[in-house]
Structure 1
């Protein structure tokens, strides 16, 4: 029943959704539950890579019998829930899940730096997955790659300017889209409604991109 306690079948469906790579939002939609319920359930019971439906169900029953609805380390569980919610927001915005997890882990690191080995160990994912995720983050300006000459390995870094650089990259991509759209518009006749539509789209993207970079430049001092 929507809004009630999760059943054992619900937890099996959550596990199946995680295996299939579904977002928390999609799992929640399929179970007709709030996304926060799914986020909290997974965070309390091993996270996305360690969730076991049978164990989660048994632990929930035990907590209910003891009269303790939250796990012993409630603060830690609350932080984990908030972290998962942030990652889900990034995934919903279009970032691949592993890239979102890597980005979040870099943000929370003391000096904003991790090696590939550290990321593999901390996130419990394959070297190939880390490589793909880091390449995505570097390509979109969310992180940068540095070389450690003493140990001959790459170090992945996130700093205060990361979001600024990601905006610059997004602006460049938008302007490339403007040029492509304008070129396509010119291939249609002057009175063509398609030409008018494409021209207006290109004009909107161009002005929006210029406003975006002006705003980023104006407020960049907040990152210093």
Structure 2
């Protein structure tokens, strides 16, 4: 729902922006930076498939500078994709519209593996039997457990999502 001059849409836009602020507040209270939370909430709730930075700034009602930092953060953490159309000069940003959360959470699996390996290195180099080595070994196993279970959960999510949304496509 890009911004339009049609006054009939003013109430819908107001409701969209109220929701965006409420959802962004939930994200921010869980540790998300405030401006990226607002931009991400907007992209999730709005109907457009792709946005330029200028469209995001206009949609959220903030400066281009605020959007620049927000989209940099969101692309870095894998919540938005950055693309450029052939022949265009501006980047466009999009949410992973096909299975938003499945895509986001699957992207986290390599990070879990990286944490697991780093902890394993620590468990190997720290003195055997030391408290630090024990904690690193526990950390390694914790991340291994999360990684293995997350793959299983994401496979289950694919099936669950299919039962919920296949008729809406």
Normalising by structure 2, we get a TM-score of: 0.76
Q: In the alignment, which residue of structure 1 is the partner of 2:116?
A: 178
CA deviations 1:171-200 (Å, max 9, x no partner) are 211211111111112122222122112101
Give the alignment of 1:80-95 within 5 angstroms. Answer: 81-95=18-32
User: Are 1:165 and 2:103 an aligned pair?
Assistant: yes
Q: How many residue pairs get matched?
A: 152
Which residue does 2:156 correspond to in 1? 218
**Per-residue deviation at 1:102?**
0.9
Tell me, in whole angstroms, the C-alpha distance in 1 between the residues paired with 2:107 and 2:15: 34
Distance across 1 between alignment mates of 2:13 and 2:56:
21
Contact 2:36–2:73 (CA under 8 A) maintained in structure 1: yes
Residue equivalent to 2:6: none
* Deviations 1:120-166 (CA, angstroms, capped at 9, x unpaired): 12223232321221122222221211212354322111113332222
1-side partners of 2:112 and 2:131: how far apart? 23
Q: Which has the larger radius of gyration?
A: 1
Match of 1:207 among 139, 145, 150: 145
TM superposition outliers: structure 1 runs of 4+ over 4 Å: 73-82
**Counterpart contact for 2:102–2:157, Cα < 8 Å:** no
Q: Is the CA contact (8 Å cut-off) linking 1:112 and 1:157 kept in structure 2? A: yes
Counterpart of 1:102 in structure 2 is 39
The CA deviation at 1:77 is: 7.1
Q: What RMSD in Å do the two structures reach over aligned CA positions?
A: 2.6
Quick check: 1:147 aligned with 2:84? yes
Equivalences for residues 1-224 of structure 1 within 5 A: 81-158=18-95, 159-221=97-159, 222=161
Classify the secondary structure of the residue corresponding to 2:51.
Answer: strand
Partners in 1 of 2:12 and 2:33 — Cα distance?
28
Cα 1:164–1:139 change in 2 (3 A) is: farther
Q: Distance in 2 between matches of 1:156 and 1:80?
A: 19
TM-score, length basis structure 1: 0.59
Residue 82 of structure 1 and its aligned partner are, at CA, apart by 4.3
Q: Deviations over 1:74-119 (max 9, x none)?
A: 9987765544331111112222111111111111222332211111
Q: Which whole-Å CA distance do the structure 2 matches of 1:191 and 1:108 have between them? A: 52
SS of the equivalent of 2:108 reads helix
